[in-house]
Amino acid sequence: MTPALFCCAQQCTFCWRAQSGDLQLTWDELRLPTWDSPEDIVEECIKTELAILTGYKANPKTDSQKLEEALTPKQAAISLTGEPTLYDQIGELIHTFHRNRFTTFLVSNGTVPSTLAKRSEEPTQLYISACAPNRKTYDRICRPQIPKAWERLSETLALLPSYKCPTVIRITLVNGLNMDDIK
Ligand code: SF4
């Protein structure tokens, strides 16, 4: 799931989300006019998950035990599209998932270190996307929409040891784009 469907501080060339400028539509990708509350987001995520799974009940090939497990979701991957740390209440959202007995993965591109630094609650695991080995490649393929994005990413990476939860640096590798400086 994502709390920031249309918002991101980057416009990666390999991104699958709708970006401002697509289909002749533009919007401010750093700010949406309204944000849902953490409680509403969690409630709607669970409802939507159950709605998506409904059809499996009538399918004779369905593994009933697996369906039963899927109907009780316990893991929230806060990722999907957009940059979740642009959602101001990300700490409260994580807390709300935990209160509902979920574990949480948070995947961020690291462009908002201030939010990651002041977290009110840590996720179960934190993933930071670092998809370029140097600033030049970063600017070319991640296409940051804010000043000093490379420095902000570096600031975020420096924060990782202060987290108690497991942390991961993840990389989207695209042949011909960012696979040329492996070391
Ligand atoms: S950081 Fe993620 S959501 Fe943002 S543009 Fe890149 S791939 Fe898309």
Query: Average pLDDT, stretch 102-112?
Result: 98
- Cβ–ligand 1 contact at 3 (below 6 Å): no
In the three-class reduction of DSSP (H, G, I as helix; E, B as strand; rest coil), residue 78 is classed as strand
Among left, alpha and beta (phi > 0; psi -120 to 50; other), residue 176 is left
What is the residue-averaged pLDDT of the chain?
A: 95
pLDDT of amino acid 53:
95
For ligand 1, atom 3: residue with the closest CA: 82
The closest-lying atom of ligand 1 relative to the alpha carbon of residue 19 is 5
Give me ligand 1 centre to Cα 7, in Å. 9
pLDDT of amino acid 116:
95
Block residue for tokens 């807390």: 95
- Cβ–ligand 1 contact at 12 (below 6 Å): yes
Structure tokens at 151: 């420095």
Neighbour-count burial for 28-66, b at 16+ CB within 10 Å, e otherwise:
ebbebeebeebeebbeebbeeeeeeeeeeeeeeeeeeee
pLDDT of amino acid 40:
98
For ligand 1, atom 8: residue with the closest CA: 15
Most ligand 1 atoms within 8 A of CB, residue of 2, 7, 10 to mutate: 10
Query: Average pLDDT, stretch 29-54?
Result: 94
The closest-lying atom of ligand 1 relative to the alpha carbon of residue 82 is 3
pTM of the model as a whole: 0.93
The HSE-up count of residue 180 (CA atoms within 13 Å, CB side) is 8
How far does Cα 131 stand from its chain's mean position?
Answer: 14
Instruction: Spell out the domains of the chain, with CATH numbers in brackets.
Output: 37-170 (3.20.20.70)
